[in-house]
Structure 1
Amino acid sequence: MNDAITLNNVNVYLGGEWILRNLSFNVAPGEFMGIIGPNGAGKTTLLRVLLGMIQPQDGTVKVGGKNIKSAGSLIGYVPQSRQIDPETPIQGRDFVSFGLPHKYRPWLTKQDRILVEEALHLTDSEKYADKPLGKLSGGERQRLFLAQALLRDPEVLLLDEPTSNLDPGAQENLAAVVERVNRERGISVVFVSHDVNLISKYAHQILYLTREQYVKGTVEDVMQPDVLTKLYGVPVEVTRSGTKFLMSSPNIMEPVSPICVHSHSEVS
């Protein structure tokens, strides 16, 4: 069976600088992988590569064993939380239906309606499906984005910081729904987040990106002082309180050295 995602020696150069360098990793079928790292590390750039929006200068990218140009139907995408005009009249159910795998038509078939209701049920969003999109909370809208992404029955679900701008309760609820989708449907998940503590509850593996550097492994293995010190090039301390991690360094904002931890040296 092909891996859900395979990257091999991917390099991306944008705006006069290298954003991703020699990035290689795979996501197994049904795996939940979290992507974390500081601002500017290339997390969103990586998702754009997976979506086919950015062409790497070097390297190969495959989804479900297919080249990225022919893998679009295998991918579902949930963007960052968006500001929506409170007067937007479209109902949640109609918004979800825009994700159906055919061109827009003014009516839905019986099968279309079944697919929409299944997506609403899977994301626990039936109770506000008939409310105007503009009147919903950020967390409720993000569930509808998730439901929309699931209509094509994707093999891979990409989420670009979907919990940004949500309150802690809404963040936790949305992440839990994504985990249930991953577990019940076997859909591979790539979840970009700035919050390692949110990701650590659900991810099987994490990819920790810094500029031009990365490491992939379990949360327990990656969130170690020696591993993060190599990534940042400065001493990093990690404190754990219960299930939460706190990372600190007096020089964390200083430029990092060109140390690179590649996937063939993944933490194991």
Structure 2
Amino acid sequence: MIEIRDLKKVYNGVTVVDVPSLSISAGESVGLVGNNGAGKTTLFRIILDLIRKDSGEVISKGYNVSETDNWKDYTGSYLDEGFLIDYLTPEEYFYYIGSLYQVSRSDVDLKLDMYREFFNDEILSKKKYIRDLSKGNQSKVGVIACLLQQPEIILLDEPFANIDPSTQIRLKNILKQIERGSNCTTIVSSHDLNHVTDVCQRILLMEKGKIIKDIRTDSNTLTELESYFSVQQVESFKSIDRS
């Protein structure tokens, strides 16, 4: 489904992404974890051809993402509120996204009705522009908008941030339902190890642009990750003390 080969991105002499090889199969649910600056968002942006790589390639269903737009027809993503059209109401935005993928207004309404619990009566029919919504509610709009086309690939960058615990649980249920009910490939980055290990079959741990662990999720995965980041925190404190 997605193949990454010899991928590198360098900013000001610092390598921020260095992934020699990565393969993600159709239907896999993959979690991407790492500290701030690990390269997660940069990797997402390269996969979505939002920034130029320095070398290597990203292949999506046989398409090189930097050479064609065909992959956009089956790929949904939400990275942050900056990708929303904030002078529209949520309804206007959903209809606009639907129109891009030949989804009629009536079908958009049917799909939105499926997510009323997730919206928690805070999104629809409020006569608010997206810019006037809280960051959490903007995130809800972005996540659901990327599902309207029923994509084969979904990329979500920190979707659990800024939303309340009840909504986090609802989002996890949506992601689990997608995993059970389709052959959709999902890639989710998150700082919340509990959430990402709960919804993803596979965890990629990034550090300084490199994928240093590739783990099949089991009952020990959360403990393994927590142990890793605990050691990282201790090493960070030691480094501060030495300085």
| Fold equivalence (TM over 0.5) | yes
CA distance in 2, matches of 1:89, 1:50: 27
Whether the 8 Å contact between 2:75 and 2:152 is mirrored in structure 1 is yes
- For residues 134-213 of structure 1, the aligned pairs below 5 Å read 134=129, 138-213=135-210
Unaligned runs of 5+ in 2: none
Whether the 8 Å contact between 1:123 and 1:146 is mirrored in structure 2 is no
Unaligned runs of 5+ in 1: 104-108, 229-236, 240-245, 256-268
Which amino acid is 1:49 matched to?
I
Higher helix share: 2
> How far did residue 169 of structure 1 move?
2.9
| Aligned match for 1:51, one of 48, 53, 56 | 48
> How far did residue 79 of structure 1 move?
2.3
Identity over aligned pairs, percent: 23
Which amino acid is 2:167 matched to?
A
CA distance in 1, matches of 2:127, 2:49: 32
> How far did residue 151 of structure 1 move?
2.7
Identify if the C-alpha distance between structure 1 residues 207 and 169 changes in structure 2 by more than 3 Å, giving closer, same or farther.
same
Identify if the C-alpha distance between structure 1 residues 216 and 194 changes in structure 2 by more than 3 Å, giving closer, same or farther.
same
Identify if the C-alpha distance between structure 1 residues 43 and 27 changes in structure 2 by more than 3 Å, giving closer, same or farther.
same
Identify if the C-alpha distance between structure 1 residues 217 and 58 changes in structure 2 by more than 3 Å, giving closer, same or farther.
same
Could you say which residue in structure 1 is the equivalent of 2:105? 113
Report Cα offsets for 1:178-236 as digits up to 9, x if no partner.
332333233211111111111011101011100043121223476576xx7xxxxxxxx
TM-score with structure 1 length normalisation?
0.72
Could you say which residue in structure 1 is the equivalent of 2:94? 96
- Considering Cα pairs closer than 8 Å and 6+ residues apart, tell me whether 1 or 2 has the greater RCO: 2
Report Cα offsets for 1:78-112 as digits up to 9, x if no partner.
12357x9xxx8854322211212439xxxxx9x61
Identify if the C-alpha distance between structure 1 residues 93 and 8 changes in structure 2 by more than 3 Å, giving closer, same or farther.
same
Is 1:247 matched up with 2:230? Answer: yes
Identify if the C-alpha distance between structure 1 residues 218 and 118 changes in structure 2 by more than 3 Å, giving closer, same or farther.
farther
Could you say which residue in structure 1 is the equivalent of 2:126? 131
Is 1:18 matched up with 2:8? Answer: no
Aligned residue pair count: 226
SS in 2 for 1:12: strand
